[in-house]
DNA sequence: GATACGGACTTTACCGGTTAAGAAAACGTT
DNA sequence: AACGTTTTCTTAACCGGTAAAGTCCGTATC
């Protein structure tokens, strides 16, 4: 297997076998007019016999459409494996790509700058026909890059962050407000939020919305902590929030993803606090995980798979030259389960 | 953004600006000898000024190395999002690919046949320089295909399944035996195993090993159930196992992944059984999840991230023309936590 | 001063397709 | 029968690089 001499079959071989020119084979395989049914058949038969399929690299170079879309994720590799969100998002994206016989070019990067360079070189090198941009931050360099080089992209994030790019987003602000209102309606007056990475745009949006909601409801206590989305960070944050006593301790905590909520659940148990009697917990994203814990986790439920699919569909629209604009998708909907109740 | 005319900068432009031929630019960018330092500098300066980087598609077509590796996963998109295993595996693979400025071409497929065709066309089309094959089953068609076309691949699976392909695998049989012995040593005589998809090769290996271990230890009861790896299936299986009473009920359950173990934990709680007093649970893979539950989950711990990294390293070896053979990696190691104890 | 040689580039022929323009045969018209 | 149209294919020029072979030139050798 070391350097097995692979006898690559090319269009020339097929042409020779069918007794026609390269051009004819190309016409046949692209279903273009200008060939008789008879020759078309002969060509396809020859191709089948030789087991030939057009070389996509050459096809791409010659200027036709590229059937690969890019996705670069800017997060340490180790952390990524722990987050259900991305895998589910990717699976949603894939579900649509597959219908179009399109593949996903995936790459983990360390910084936004690295991603910006990568995306640009993917595009310039015709490696991709378009790209999905995620994890926007304020003044994101990818906005200008995409516009400068004219790369078809879909930005996953609020329009305020994604500039003039076509965007697909969920209304995080409204969802946060709803979460807080729900807990307040249950009677909670001291509410905390364990947020995600502070650098991310959607984190700031949620943070601002939380502050505003807390103010509007005149809560007696409102805390916010930033984390890196990991379960460990969620556990630490929960531990320090619950370590306080009396009026300094929140009676309800909202998490920015579900892995942290699971961690919070376990910290509460370990500290001898009952959920939801002593403290209410509310997760985000709502992967299957939330239904597997005991008590089950109430969550701001969000169809991440469907979200990914919608992003992919929108990208195809953009690549085809349409679908530009801002595409809000369904706001996460509150799904009460066993981890939220009125405070004692 | 619809169809922005992109002024693509090519090697010709750079050559013109530097006042040299295309060939010279190519030499400079591939760090090949035959150019004076002065021209080299001039070329790089010109390239920088024009913001040029070599077009990878063209470079690939011209016959140099391809910096993309393939991975097709044969599983319904929806299910994939739920499994921590793959995301962690992918993140491990990525961590090594990134070092080599290499990207991953990912695609979900429905059947092994579809994957076989896809992999072959990726290879023939020079879309990839090599590929990672996962989820082997008996008489897998990918083995013959890879050998026939001479595609560099690394097969993730036991050599008995992967034919003559270079393989990276963990010793599932030994691990299962160890898991059963451990539970038996704690005093358990009735042990169940909630396994994965029956069609997968490593599932059969584990199933056989469990049977053998159960026989060798002359257990009073040994059950095995096949699932689709989902938490729901794990919950169902657990519920039916624990519904029995007395001598028909297992006192310990081994799961084939951790999501099912988490589900099992919650089912036990819901049925009023205490873990580990009434029933011991043992997870597999051991993602972060196992440390986030309460009680924490004992597991056959397996560095999935490192496993992915090793697979990627091996693939690079194969692509370079070496590293052929069978590469066993560390056997999952038993990590006792809070979910296992002697039966009452 | 003719010969050989090595360094610095340029030329040119691919890689495997696509596609515009051209040519030969088949067809319909008057 | 002469002439314009189609239909059916072929030719040849790209796409943007790589790499082997060729050219030119300054210099060391005898």
Residue of A nearest to B303 (CA): A78
Six-digit token pair at A47? 């191709």
Task: Determine what percent of chain B is predicted with pLDDT higher than 90.
Answer: 67
| CATH code, A47 | 1.10.260
When mean pLDDT is compared across A94-108, A164-178, B1-15, B196-210, the lowest value belongs to: B1-15
CA distance B56 to B66: 8
How far apart are the two ends of chain A, measured CA to CA in Å? 69
Whether residue A187 sits in one domain with residue A146: no
Which one of B80, B94, B124 has the shortest CB-CB distance to A108?
A: B94
A214 Cβ neighbours under 8 A, 6+ residues apart? A180, A191, A222
Q: What is the pLDDT of residue A243?
A: 95
Answer for A62: CB within 7 Å of strand C.
Answer: yes
Chain A residues closer than 8 Å to B3 by CB: 150, 321
Each residue of B32-72: pLDDT tens digit?
998 999 999 999 999 999 988 888 889 888 876 778 899 99
Q: What is the pLDDT of residue A2?
A: 31
Whether residue B98 sits in one domain with residue B18: no
Instruction: With a cut of 70, say whether residue A177 has pLDDT above it.
Output: yes
Q: Has residue A273 been placed in a domain?
A: yes
8 A C-beta contact, residue A112 and residue B99: no
Chain B residues closer than 8 Å to A87 by CB: 80-84, 86-87
Instruction: With a cut of 60, say whether residue B2 has pLDDT above it.
Output: no
Return the number of other C-beta atoms located less than 10 Å from residue B159's C-beta.
16
Q: Give B216→chain A minimum CA distance, Å.
A: 34
* For residues A176-184, average pLDDT: 97
Answer for A20: CB within 7 Å of strand D.
Answer: yes
Note the CA–C1' distance, A223 to D2, in angstroms: 95
CA distance B125 to A59: 9
Q: Has residue B23 been placed in a domain?
A: yes
Tell me how long chain B is. 344
Q: Do B57 and A60 touch (CB under 8 A)?
A: yes
* For residues A175-201, average pLDDT: 96
Q: What is the mean pLDDT of chain A?
A: 91
* For residues B178-196, average pLDDT: 97
Q: Has residue B62 been placed in a domain?
A: no
* For residues B93-99, average pLDDT: 88
8 A C-beta contact, residue B281 and residue B255: yes
Specify the higher pLDDT residue, B132 or B247.
B132
The 3-class SS string of chain A reads CCCCCCCCCCHHHHHHHHCCCHHHHHHHHCCCCCCCHHHHHHHHHHHHHHCCCCCHHHHHHCCCCCCEEEEEEECCHHHHCCCHHHHHHHHHHHHHHHHCCCEEEEEEECCHHHHHHHHHHHHHCCCCCEEEECCCCCCCHHHHHHHHHCCCEEEECCHHHHCCCCEEEECHHHHHHHHHHHHHHHCCCEEEEEECCCCCHHHHHHHHHHHHHHHHCCCCEEEEEECCCCHHHHHHHHHHHHHCCHHHCCCEEEECCHHHHHHHHHHHHHCCCCCCCCCEEEEEECCHHHHCCCCCCEEEECCHHHHHHHHHHHHHHHHCCCCCCEEEECCCEEECCCCCCCCC
8 A C-beta contact, residue B93 and residue A108: no
Q: Which nucleotide is closest, CA of B59 to its C1'?
A: D17
Whether residue A309 sits in one domain with residue A288: no
Backbone angles phi, psi at A34, to 5 degrees: 115, 15
The partner residues of B300 in beta bridges, in order of sequence, read B284, B334
Question: What domain count does chain A have?
Answer: 3
CA distance A172 to A56: 40
Q: What is the pLDDT of residue B4?
A: 41
Return the number of other C-beta atoms located less than 10 Å from residue B65's C-beta.
10
List the alpha helices (DSSP H) in chain B.
Answer: 11-18, 22-29, 37-50, 56-61, 77-80, 84-99, 112-124, 141-149, 159-162, 172-186, 201-216, 231-243, 258-270, 304-319
Q: In the block, which residue shows the tokens 């689709």? A: B228
Chain B residues closer than 8 Å to A127 by CB: 56-57, 68, 103
Instruction: With a cut of 60, say whether residue B5 has pLDDT above it.
Output: no
Q: Do B1 and A90 touch (CB under 8 A)?
A: no
Instruction: With a cut of 60, say whether residue B182 has pLDDT above it.
Output: yes
Instruction: Look at phi and psi of residue A246 and say left if phi exceeds 0, alpha if psi is from -120 to 50, else beta.
Output: left
CA angle A143, A148, A151 (to 5 degrees): 75
8 A C-beta contact, residue B81 and residue B253: no
Instruction: With a cut of 60, say whether residue B177 has pLDDT above it.
Output: yes
Residue of B nearest to A236 (CA): B292
Note the CA–C1' distance, B64 to D19, in angstroms: 10
Q: Which nucleotide is closest, CA of A61 to its C1'?
A: D15
- CA-wise closest residue to A268 among A206, A176, A194, A179: A194
When mean pLDDT is compared across A76-90, A173-187, B87-101, B197-211, the lowest value belongs to: A76-90
Q: Give B53→chain A minimum CA distance, Å.
A: 7
8 A C-beta contact, residue A138 and residue A161: yes
Instruction: With a cut of 60, say whether residue A5 has pLDDT above it.
Output: no
Question: What is residue B130's three-state secondary structure?
Answer: strand
* For residues B66-86, average pLDDT: 80
Answer for B126: CB within 7 Å of strand D.
Answer: no
Q: Which bases of strand C sit closer than 7 A to a protein CB?
A: 7-12, 14-21
When mean pLDDT is compared across A201-205, A284-288, B152-156, the lowest value belongs to: A284-288
| CATH code, A214 | 3.40.50.2300
Q: What is the pLDDT of residue B77?
A: 66
Return the number of other C-beta atoms located less than 10 Å from residue B235's C-beta.
22
Q: Which nucleotide is closest, CA of A19 to its C1'?
A: D9
Angle, in degrees to the nearest 10, between helices B22-29 and B11-18: 100
8 A C-beta contact, residue A227 and residue A233: yes
Chain A residues closer than 8 Å to B84 by CB: 81-82, 84, 87
Q: Has residue A1 been placed in a domain?
A: no
Residue nearest to nucleotide C15 (CA to C1'): B62
Q: Give B302→chain A minimum CA distance, Å.
A: 14
Whether residue B165 sits in one domain with residue B311: yes
Q: Give B215→chain A minimum CA distance, Å.
A: 33
Residue B7 binned pLDDT confidence (cut-offs 50, 70, 90) = low
Whether residue B17 sits in one domain with residue B112: no
Q: Do B94 and A107 touch (CB under 8 A)?
A: yes
Q: Which nucleotide is closest, CA of A30 to its C1'?
A: C18
- CA-wise closest residue to A90 among B103, B307, B82: B82
Answer for B58: CB within 7 Å of strand C.
Answer: yes
B246 Cβ neighbours under 8 A, 6+ residues apart? none
- CA-wise closest residue to A298 among A315, A308, A311, A285: A285
Q: What is the pLDDT of residue A4?
A: 40
Note the CA–C1' distance, A14 to C23, in angstroms: 23
Q: Do B81 and A61 touch (CB under 8 A)?
A: no
* For residues B131-158, average pLDDT: 93
The partner residues of A130 in beta bridges, in order of sequence, read A69
Whether residue B74 sits in one domain with residue B141: yes
CA distance B267 to A293: 9
Q: Which bases of strand D sit closer than 7 A to a protein CB?
A: 7-12, 14-21
- CA-wise closest residue to A117 among A70, A65, A167, A68: A70
Whether residue A312 sits in one domain with residue A296: no
Q: What is the pLDDT of residue A77?
A: 66
Six-digit token pair at B16? 């013109």
Q: Has residue B59 been placed in a domain?
A: no
Q: What is the pLDDT of residue A93?
A: 93
The partner residues of A68 in beta bridges, in order of sequence, read A103
- CA-wise closest residue to B320 among B69, B32, B27, B56: B69
Whether residue A245 sits in one domain with residue A320: no
Whether residue B263 sits in one domain with residue B180: yes
8 A C-beta contact, residue A89 and residue B78: no
Burial class (CB in 10 A: 0-12, 13-18, 19+), A33: exposed
Q: Give B139→chain A minimum CA distance, Å.
A: 19
Q: What is the pLDDT of residue B78?
A: 66
* Interface test mutation site (partner B, options A8, A124, A128, max chain B beta carbons within 10 A): A124
Whether residue A190 sits in one domain with residue A255: yes
8 A C-beta contact, residue B142 and residue B285: no
Q: Which nucleotide is closest, CA of B11 to its C1'?
A: D16
- Beta strands A280-285 and A326-329 are unpaired
Q: Has residue A112 been placed in a domain?
A: yes
Whether residue A193 sits in one domain with residue A97: no
Which one of A59, A61, A103 has the shortest CB-CB distance to B106?
A: A103
Residue of A nearest to B62 (CA): A58
Residue of B nearest to A149 (CA): B6
> DSSP state, B133?
E
Q: Has residue A153 been placed in a domain?
A: yes
Each residue of A260-319: pLDDT tens digit?
999 999 999 989 999 999 999 999 998 888 988 889 999 999 999 999 999 999 999 998
Residue nearest to nucleotide D7 (CA to C1'): A34
Backbone angles phi, psi at B316, to 5 degrees: -60, -40
Q: What is the pLDDT of residue A6?
A: 54
Q: Give B101→chain A minimum CA distance, Å.
A: 9
Q: What is the pLDDT of residue A130?
A: 93
Specify the higher pLDDT residue, A281 or A67.
A281
8 A C-beta contact, residue A61 and residue A29: no
Answer for A12: CB within 7 Å of strand C.
Answer: yes
- Beta strands A333-335 and A298-301 are antiparallel
Chain B residues closer than 8 Å to A106 by CB: 90, 94, 103-106
Q: Has residue B115 been placed in a domain?
A: yes
Answer for A63: CB within 7 Å of strand C.
Answer: yes
- CA-wise closest residue to B281 among B270, B266, B265: B265
CA distance A261 to A266: 9
Check whether the bond before A81 is cis (ω within 30° of 0). Answer: no
Question: What is the extent of the structural domain holding B26?
Answer: 11-54
Whether residue A238 sits in one domain with residue A132: no
């Amino acid at each position: 297997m070391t350097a097995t001499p692979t006898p690559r079959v090319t269009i020339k071989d097929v042409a020779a076998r069918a007794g026609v020119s390269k051009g004819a084979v190309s016409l046949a395989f692209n279903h273009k007019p200008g060939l008789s049914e008879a020759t078309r058949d002969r060509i396809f038969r020859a191709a089948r016999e030789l087991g030939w399929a057009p070389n996509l690299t050459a096809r791409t170079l010659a200027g036709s459409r590229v059937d690969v879309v890019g996705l670069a994720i800017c997060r340490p590799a180790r952390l990524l494996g722990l987050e259900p969100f991305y895998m589910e998002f990717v699976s949603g994206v894939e579900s649509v790509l597959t219908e179009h016989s399109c593949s996903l070019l995936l790459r983990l990067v360390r910084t936004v700058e690295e991603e910006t360079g990568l995306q640009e070189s993917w595009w310039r090198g015709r490696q991709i026909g378009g790209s999905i941009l995620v994890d926007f931050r304020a003044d994101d360099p990818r906005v200008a890059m995409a516009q400068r080089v004219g790369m078809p992209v879909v930005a996953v994030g609020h329009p305020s962050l994604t500039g003039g790019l076509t965007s697909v987003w969920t209304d995080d602000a409204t969802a946060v407000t709803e979460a807080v209102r729900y807990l307040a309606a249950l009677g909670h007056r001291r509410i905390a939020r364990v947020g995600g990475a502070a650098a991310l745009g959607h984190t700031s949006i949620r943070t601002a919305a939380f502050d505003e909601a807390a103010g509007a409801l005149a809560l007696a206590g409102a805390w916010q902590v930033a984390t890196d989305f990991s379960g460990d960070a969620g556990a630490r944050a929960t531990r320090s929030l619950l370590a306080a006593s009396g009026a300094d301790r929140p009676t309800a905590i909202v998490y920015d993803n579900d892995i942290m909520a699971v961690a919070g659940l376990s910290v509460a148990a370990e500290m001898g606090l009952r959920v939801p009697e002593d403290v209410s917990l509310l997760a985000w994203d709502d992967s299957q995980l939330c239904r597997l814990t005991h008590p089950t986790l109430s969550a701001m439920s969000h169809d991440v798979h469907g979200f990914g699919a919608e992003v992919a569909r929108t990208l195809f629209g953009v690549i085809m030259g349409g679908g530009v604009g801002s595409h809000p998708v369904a706001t996460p909907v509150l799904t009460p389960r066993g981890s939220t109740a009125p405070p004692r």
